[in-house]
């Protein structure tokens, strides 16, 4: 059974099945699994959290924004 964007197809022909097995193998090559996948997702989540907080402000810039060191 193959799920697509618009439908689900049941394939029974060996040639059709082989095509999807090959396609999946190509998609699987750059994928990561297990602990490596967890680390990758944690890194992405950390970046998204930082983006939500806005740009980082260095201690010196923050100090200057408060009117010091000019």
Q: Are 25 and 18 in contact (CB under 8 A)?
A: no
52-63 CB burial, b ≥16 within 10 A, e <16: eeeeeeeeeeee
pLDDT computed for residue 25 by the predictor:
95
Look up the pTM and report it: 0.48
27: closest CA among 63, 62, 2?
2
pLDDT computed for residue 66 by the predictor:
66
- The parts of the chain modelled with pLDDT lower than 70 are 54-70
């Amino acid at each position: 059974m193959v799920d697509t964007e618009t439908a689900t197809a049941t394939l029974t022909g060996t040639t059709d099945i082989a095509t999807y097995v090959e396609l999946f193998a190509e998609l699987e090559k750059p994928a990561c699994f297990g602990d490596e996948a967890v680390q990758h997702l944690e890194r992405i989540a950390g970046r998204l959290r930082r983006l939500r907080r806005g740009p980082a402000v260095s201690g010196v810039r923050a100090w200057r924004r408060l009117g010091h060191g000019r």
